Structure 1
């Protein structure tokens, strides 16, 4: 038994530097090796025959609707083969969906009994039906209860989605605890991620915790192969379990067997189960060093492109440490792998990364075809965040091939249709519709919207339309004296969703030679030799990084308090302007609303989902779910901007409004009611049940000053900074009891609202969105932020005033100075094509 590094002097030792994605050193490692043959010689391990128990746990949630019948046929074929090859095998079959919807079809039944002609067990398989969501933990818990100490148990856990019921966080915590317990028994767990929407990251970690492997299976045949691999191990003589401690001088260890196609890693003791006596194997021991210690190891070779580094990347990926996995990947100096997989963040991308690392480890000859360089291959292409700025700057000189975009577009949400549903769930369509006035193939390059709490970029395409009656296509050209000759439709297309590229390329034409040159110089038009206004150019987005990796993300202090004040002002001004227009009368606004038009002449057709019952849509496979990670900014008193009250709610919460002439109190007042009448505001006497919160403490000074109750500068200072001094002047007149013209006040409010919203937009564009995008696109918190991580419970204990929603309770929270970054999962639904 190897006990320390000094005793490994006869075994090759190497070292490597762990770099980040920008090519900067992050850590230094020494790697010692211990072949499995040394342990076998020391322990004289012999193969043993054991009673074998195969537990098969399959997913029958609603998303399996289209695949459940082929899966049942696959199960029967597998069991048929097992009856011939391993007649003493005991079999348990479990299926699961939502929490509480667990079925144990049969337990510990000899396979010969299962496969008897017309057996009840085969009938059980045939009767499996789909329904509900995905609660994996209940299946694994039952499997745990069926494990016997005197037998070898192999669990094959199958899932085609996320463990999200009753919620993501509790499921993950429960599953990890179950796997920690299973690892104490004579059990190995192989997991099967069935389909691209499976949570490959979680399933990989669970398998690693119980000496197993995770397989991504996109077809029924691959599911069969994965299930068969589990039962095949159970049917052969295997070596006794190997338990390898991690001695204090090491920080991490990995076991790798090429013949068994097995890799397990841990920052503690490793338990290895499921090897045959003739399987090879090696333990890699990783010792983290300081830079000085590393540089003093002059007699140890530097080996960046070594199996130990690829293995480290794979083990970190399995263990859920995505940042470490990516750092190790680029530290191999393998440009082929790095350029293809360093952006991996979604399940499908992580699967591809995992498979690429497998090939590098188990088929090392494949590396001869890779480009290996002498440094970290930093992606120096223009980031997509900067590309959209180019598009925005030059959009008037660019037209977009809309048909190409639509043909290659993947919907990310639930499809909606015009209309609303009546009490019986029937679709009632609008009495008006629109017709496009352009050809539809080419359109002017649109504008871009960056989501404020996910790594999502939407391209907004504007097209001219006319309003027509749905029954006879009669055009509507005028409403209440307002000509409708400049109506537009607005359609959003997601270019990047949750950090994942959703559109691979855009085809464009340029009307300006100088603009063409700008894009050419950024290497965005690789096949373009010269400018031609009639030529269509394709911009390939796939090689572009989402965000600049070397950018400065540390300038975040104070941004939450400023954004919160701007958000309160925006809500306050908008509440006044909700039902008024500085152009049209109230009757005109009402007429426009009847024709699905806003006071700004935007079309507002009602829409609803294609289905009337979400549960039914999930059960029939028309709709599926995925997990999106939301990223919010807050502080230790207010978790995020979503916790701010609306202006009218806050008015009702803390204030009373009286008619100036009569003294009558307004019942349930709203700010739009105060525009055309003289009113007096006063503080409400709060009931004992009203609990004043930190949100109230933030909002009250702003409202007090706006309403003329207290001159404190919390509002006027920022409005003067933004150039809205005309609004400040009118408010001061109101505070002194002077009459202010309503139209003039509405105009000033509209101008102030525009300035506030622009300041908020600039703050998000320059400070917030790049940080949100970095986190969402890389899965990393920037190292430079030196963030301290907390769970919801830990943060609540530290900051007692914080309030958590159901989704937020499942999140992780990072303290960065006076800022709290919240990263929490949320279930999103999407239509299945």
Structure 2
């Protein structure tokens, strides 16, 4: 029996296995069964422009099926939004479907794009159409993500359906990931669990080839289901080269959808301790004449299960350097689909002569500087570099919905803003910073360019407003890494600091040479690990962070609400004049913008807007899930307090009213329906102290947490109590808010790398001890005081030393067409 050990990217062994090869004898084959092919077609809005080609391929395949087996039953279903699946052909003989003047063909031709993507309804309908004793293949086609009614609800329903399909021995499910943005992980999981194969088919032609294979299989003699018992093994995989099928499971593995004449072999994997592995006198898979196929089968099956780390560590052990280098960073669905296809090709067809075979374990680039390290250097010297925006935009992938200047009117027309900005020069822009997103695996590059304010009607430049000379800049964020995927392969820059050049050269990001301030340098990010493979994190990194951030944010929110329409530099009249030109007191130009579509549902239906799934990572406590649960300052003021102006209580009290004469505060009588929570417990003492209702010292503690001196604390309390002029109070509040925001930023700086790691890899760091994943229901049961909102209810939750980490999917809209502009 051969053996192998999986290895991480640095070549360190991770797990040890003894492999048992099992030859599978075909069971007695009964007389040919009736066959049934159920095709489920995705007709969601993202299929705009592709659906006609898909329908044409379906017709061609049905023609072939009629030729091979005219008695074969055919069903054709389509789906989009929840509840709108349609049966166009239902359990009809293929010869009847393809008869001249057939109503069935006409029904297929009339399929049109509509709505979102609810895969589960199609699977449910297909299951209901299957019958015992019929060799049935369900072919599920999808080009996107299951997102209706929500990603979590869809996943739960699909999980339940998979278990139901497993109980149907005559049915197997093939899935087709149509284009590079489909949810390959989900489709691969469905196929593996239901005895089928997931095919990546980015074009209609490849779709035809895939459907043709299925038709050929059903027209022949399908072997009865064979169960491969685990017999004490930790994992079992099945491989058939002729069927181009690989399956994997813990426990008994059911093999279906294979012809009797197909080759077939199973592998049982017995996990060992290292000492037992070292003592085992067997050949290592891939050494000498020992086949590497058991390792590749293990990798392929783990990909199908979605266990990417185990799959990649097996690829390291296969020592196919070409395969490994191309797919080591696979995290997103397009990347995972490509990795699965490449591993399958090597598994079924053998290792190509062009592939480089390594003699040692590990990834050659494992010790390269990671993308995060390179961006860290660029961020350190951000003020000393410029970026070529025009070159950057050529290959830039939009992450959000395209916006246009103006205000949309009820009739759908757009009124343009009265003013706009025009860059003073094209091409190059100053880089301000590289910023980690606080709850996704995303890094943004902020760039700035000098602009002029221009009157839209006259085209004249506006040099000053209310006596204020305008030296404006436009600011744009470009996503370098988005949701764990590299969004910019390279960044074209000019450098003015020789230390920046040297630091980039030291990590291999630029070739050796002297600084040329006029040259364009290309910092290549592709080919690098996204994060350091040997990164480690302190398990206590989150300790106390939530409490500090929540209190800092609560006070900062009060100050932001109080300072609305106020400035420490300009008068109220100047602020009004700036606002009329869409300028803030900080000289940010913020004109009204709107989406380029008038109707989101219509845009989704015709394909100009689509959705992608991002994964949010947040942290909280057993009583409060995220700092986003905090009430806004004005909402909390209205919830607990009254504001009286000149003898009359305000129905909608706001902090900006504090500057008016005759303002007093009181406690609000809470109704019996008001349910107090952890946010009330945290925020109320802060508000009481700020408003002078009760001396809790909560504000003092927060100010000291932010690094304020005793003199600054005294000045703040005087300002809050109205003991100084309005102008002086505005100055104090403005300075304090900046200090609070800096403290908040420092707290996030400490934990954002962990959030990025989790979001980029889908794993918790090993140092966290492998806590059990909980569903929303599990978390609520464990922590009765924890409030989980609708948007987080589809998430997964972990208890890391008393800190609750939540990872949850969120559907994001993005535009599929049009150039990237400064407005977005």
Q: Please state whether the residue corresponding to 1:32 is helix, strand or coil.
A: strand
Runs of 5+ in structure 2 lacking a partner?
818-824
Which residue does the alignment assign to 2:731? 747
Asked whether the equivalents of residues 384 and 545 of structure 1 are also in contact (C-alpha less than 8 Å), the reply is yes
How far residue 754 of structure 1 moved from its aligned partner, in angstroms, is 1.1
Which residue does the alignment assign to 1:30? 18
Q: Does 1:483 align with 2:469?
A: yes
Q: Does 1:775 align with 2:763?
A: no
Aligned equivalents of 2:475, 2:158: Cα separation in 1? 44
How far residue 22 of structure 1 moved from its aligned partner, in angstroms, is 5.2
Q: Does 1:701 align with 2:685?
A: yes
Which residue does the alignment assign to 1:199? 183
Deviation digits for residues 443-497 of structure 1 (CA, Å, limit 9, x no counterpart): 223322221111111111101111111122011122122121x111111211111
Deviation digits for residues 559-593 of structure 1 (CA, Å, limit 9, x no counterpart): 22222122212212212212210011112111111
Which residue does the alignment assign to 2:749? 765
Q: Does 1:801 align with 2:785?
A: yes
Mapping 1:515-530, distance limit 5 Å: 515-526=500-511, 528-530=512-514
Which residue does the alignment assign to 2:387? 400
Aligned equivalents of 1:679, 1:817: Cα separation in 2? 46
Name which of structure 1's ranges 743-752 and 580-589 shifts more when overlaid on structure 2: 743-752
Asked whether the equivalents of residues 344 and 778 of structure 1 are also in contact (C-alpha less than 8 Å), the reply is no
When residues 23 and 656 of structure 1 are mapped into structure 2, their CA distance, relative to the original with a 3 A threshold, is: farther
Q: 1:167 aligns with which of 107, 127, 150?
A: 150
Mapping 1:418-457, distance limit 5 Å: 418-438=405-425, 440-457=426-443
Q: Does 1:244 align with 2:228?
A: yes
**RMSD (Å), alpha carbons:** 2.0
How far residue 133 of structure 1 moved from its aligned partner, in angstroms, is 1.0
Aligned equivalents of 1:333, 1:632: Cα separation in 2? 37
Aligned equivalents of 1:173, 1:666: Cα separation in 2? 47
Aligned equivalents of 2:706, 2:144: Cα separation in 1? 48
Q: Does 1:17 align with 2:2?
A: no
Q: Please state whether the residue corresponding to 2:138 is helix, strand or coil.
A: strand
Runs of 5+ in structure 1 lacking a partner?
1-12
How far residue 14 of structure 1 moved from its aligned partner, in angstroms, is 2.6
Aligned equivalents of 1:506, 1:738: Cα separation in 2? 51
Q: 1:532 aligns with which of 496, 508, 516?
A: 516
Aligned equivalents of 1:190, 1:443: Cα separation in 2? 50
- Tell me the matched-pair count: 807
Q: Does 1:647 align with 2:647?
A: no
How far residue 637 of structure 1 moved from its aligned partner, in angstroms, is 0.6
Aligned equivalents of 2:523, 2:719: Cα separation in 1? 55
Deviation digits for residues 636-667 of structure 1 (CA, Å, limit 9, x no counterpart): 110111110011111121223446xx665455
Q: Does 1:50 align with 2:50?
A: no
How far residue 785 of structure 1 moved from its aligned partner, in angstroms, is 0.9
Asked whether the equivalents of residues 201 and 350 of structure 1 are also in contact (C-alpha less than 8 Å), the reply is yes
Asked whether the equivalents of residues 435 and 443 of structure 2 are also in contact (C-alpha less than 8 Å), the reply is yes
How far residue 156 of structure 1 moved from its aligned partner, in angstroms, is 1.0
Aligned equivalents of 1:544, 1:358: Cα separation in 2? 24
Aligned equivalents of 2:11, 2:696: Cα separation in 1? 50
Aligned equivalents of 1:697, 1:331: Cα separation in 2? 54
How far residue 677 of structure 1 moved from its aligned partner, in angstroms, is 4.3
When residues 304 and 670 of structure 1 are mapped into structure 2, their CA distance, relative to the original with a 3 A threshold, is: farther
How far residue 155 of structure 1 moved from its aligned partner, in angstroms, is 1.2
Q: Please state whether the residue corresponding to 2:558 is helix, strand or coil.
A: helix
TM-score, normalised by the number of residues in structure 1: 0.93
Name which of structure 1's ranges 364-373 and 581-590 shifts more when overlaid on structure 2: 364-373
Which residue does the alignment assign to 1:63? 46
Asked whether the equivalents of residues 336 and 372 of structure 1 are also in contact (C-alpha less than 8 Å), the reply is no
How far residue 293 of structure 1 moved from its aligned partner, in angstroms, is 3.6
When residues 141 and 390 of structure 1 are mapped into structure 2, their CA distance, relative to the original with a 3 A threshold, is: same
When residues 678 and 15 of structure 1 are mapped into structure 2, their CA distance, relative to the original with a 3 A threshold, is: farther
Asked whether the equivalents of residues 23 and 266 of structure 2 are also in contact (C-alpha less than 8 Å), the reply is yes
Q: Does 1:213 align with 2:197?
A: yes
Which residue does the alignment assign to 1:492? 477
Asked whether the equivalents of residues 432 and 448 of structure 2 are also in contact (C-alpha less than 8 Å), the reply is yes
Asked whether the equivalents of residues 135 and 222 of structure 2 are also in contact (C-alpha less than 8 Å), the reply is no
Mapping 1:238-637, distance limit 5 Å: 238-247=222-231, 249-295=232-278, 297-303=279-285, 306-366=292-352, 369-377=355-363, 379-438=366-425, 440-484=426-470, 486-526=471-511, 528-553=512-537, 554=539, 555-637=541-623
Deviation digits for residues 800-830 of structure 1 (CA, Å, limit 9, x no counterpart): 2222222211111111111111111111111
Q: Does 1:638 align with 2:628?
A: no
Asked whether the equivalents of residues 788 and 816 of structure 1 are also in contact (C-alpha less than 8 Å), the reply is no
Aligned equivalents of 1:606, 1:137: Cα separation in 2? 40
Deviation digits for residues 289-329 of structure 1 (CA, Å, limit 9, x no counterpart): 3334434x331334378322222221111112233223333
Q: 1:158 aligns with which of 121, 141, 145?
A: 141
How far residue 515 of structure 1 moved from its aligned partner, in angstroms, is 2.5
Aligned equivalents of 1:778, 1:65: Cα separation in 2? 32
Aligned equivalents of 2:383, 2:439: Cα separation in 1? 29
Deviation digits for residues 582-622 of structure 1 (CA, Å, limit 9, x no counterpart): 01111211111111011111101111100000111111111
Aligned equivalents of 1:825, 1:460: Cα separation in 2? 26
Asked whether the equivalents of residues 192 and 217 of structure 1 are also in contact (C-alpha less than 8 Å), the reply is yes
When residues 333 and 763 of structure 1 are mapped into structure 2, their CA distance, relative to the original with a 3 A threshold, is: farther
Aligned equivalents of 1:282, 1:442: Cα separation in 2? 60
Mapping 1:82-97, distance limit 5 Å: 82-97=65-80
Aligned equivalents of 2:147, 2:802: Cα separation in 1? 32
Aligned equivalents of 2:8, 2:105: Cα separation in 1? 53
Asked whether the equivalents of residues 704 and 710 of structure 1 are also in contact (C-alpha less than 8 Å), the reply is yes
Deviation digits for residues 361-406 of structure 1 (CA, Å, limit 9, x no counterpart): 1232327622414232262222222222211222233222222101
When residues 796 and 635 of structure 1 are mapped into structure 2, their CA distance, relative to the original with a 3 A threshold, is: same
Aligned equivalents of 1:272, 1:101: Cα separation in 2? 33
Q: 1:78 aligns with which of 39, 61, 75?
A: 61
Aligned equivalents of 1:164, 1:304: Cα separation in 2? 42
Aligned equivalents of 1:191, 1:766: Cα separation in 2? 42
When residues 187 and 394 of structure 1 are mapped into structure 2, their CA distance, relative to the original with a 3 A threshold, is: same
How far residue 513 of structure 1 moved from its aligned partner, in angstroms, is 3.0
Aligned equivalents of 1:791, 1:658: Cα separation in 2? 46
How far residue 359 of structure 1 moved from its aligned partner, in angstroms, is 2.4
When residues 734 and 165 of structure 1 are mapped into structure 2, their CA distance, relative to the original with a 3 A threshold, is: closer
Q: Please state whether the residue corresponding to 2:20 is helix, strand or coil.
A: strand
Q: Please state whether the residue corresponding to 2:587 is helix, strand or coil.
A: coil
Q: Please state whether the residue corresponding to 1:538 is helix, strand or coil.
A: strand
How far residue 24 of structure 1 moved from its aligned partner, in angstroms, is 4.6
Asked whether the equivalents of residues 48 and 239 of structure 1 are also in contact (C-alpha less than 8 Å), the reply is no
Which residue does the alignment assign to 1:181? 164
Which residue does the alignment assign to 1:4? none
Asked whether the equivalents of residues 730 and 740 of structure 1 are also in contact (C-alpha less than 8 Å), the reply is no
Deviation digits for residues 674-715 of structure 1 (CA, Å, limit 9, x no counterpart): 145465444333222211101111112222332334444433
Q: Please state whether the residue corresponding to 2:366 is helix, strand or coil.
A: coil
